[in-house]
A = this chain, B = another copy of it.
Amino acid sequence: MSIRPPTVPISCRECPVQGLTVCQPLSGQRLEIVQNFKKCDRILPAGTPLYRPGDPCGELYNLLDGWVSLYRILATGRRQILDFALPGAFIGYQTDLFGPMLHGAESLTDVAVCVFPRPAFPRLIEDHADLARRLIWLNARDTILAHNHLTNIACRAARSRVAHLLLELCIRARGGRPSNGDLGTEIPLTQHHIADALGLTNVYVSVTLGELRQEGLILFKNGRLQVLDPDRLAAVAGIDDEAAFLSMDHESDDCRLHAVAPAPRSQIGDMYARNRSSSK
């Protein structure tokens, strides 16, 4: 009931995430470059693996709709969620493009993906400098996300970790759009996913979420998050790497020279509000 049915674009011209993924630099006539390159679109139900760790994988994916988790499995059986991929994510690229995948990818919701053939991909990049530039940007962003994640886990107590993750996901999930009233934001995760992302146990996540709820900071139920008190939540999250947050928008293009003043020590609360209040 809460999951929109994923839609598949007829053509790249109508791609819902064209401005977010590798294809971003292409427009007009040049969209045919990817249009001809792409293999197909595909719809996957929730819980479907795109690939597993260790798999060879002949494809690359643009996530058109839905959420995907990127994870590793340790010998102990523990699963570590490395990142949550949101619409626009470019999934499956790694150093050794043709080696076994170092992580797995699995749909968290029903999902639509645009499929690229992996073997031909290097050629595509080689031939189109702007796509290469874009890939560099996306990759560098993944590194920052990983560093944020790393810092969150290593430096913060459970309360803060959870708060931080929810805040981050909430902002990313909105992608700059306002929140729709008091319905909150769709964060299609179980507490177990949160635990596996943060290096906690599901029961302690439950306890922690309980506390945050008690204190009137959030409501998280059925994959929907309502942030009741953004400022206090941000305080709990111990936000300080705001710069890292802020740099995540797609405006900052790496290859165009623009003097950016050091990010003002603004409050995430503000940022949240900005997105939220401007509802239509």
Contacts and interface: CB of A to CB of B under 8 A. Distances in A.
Copies in the assembly, this chain: 2
Given A74-B241, A144-B102, A96 B151 contact: no
A227 B122 CA distance: 40
Contact of A99 (B94, B199, B239, B260): B260
Interface string A27-64: 00000000000000000000000000111100000000
A255 interface: yes
Contacts of A136: 125, 132, 135-136, 139
Nearest to A56: B262
Interface stretch (A76-84, A173-181, A208-216, A217-225): A76-84
A232 interface: no
A95 B255 contact: no
A115 to B, nearest CB: 18
Contact of A126 (B126, B198, B255): B255
Given A95-B247, A139-B139, A150-B153, 19 more contacts: A54-B243, A56-B259, A72-B147, A75-B239, A76-B155, A95-B144, A95-B254, A97-B255, A98-B258, A98-B260, A99-B243, A99-B247, A102-B147, A122-B255, A125-B132, A126-B255, A139-B140, A149-B150, A153-B154
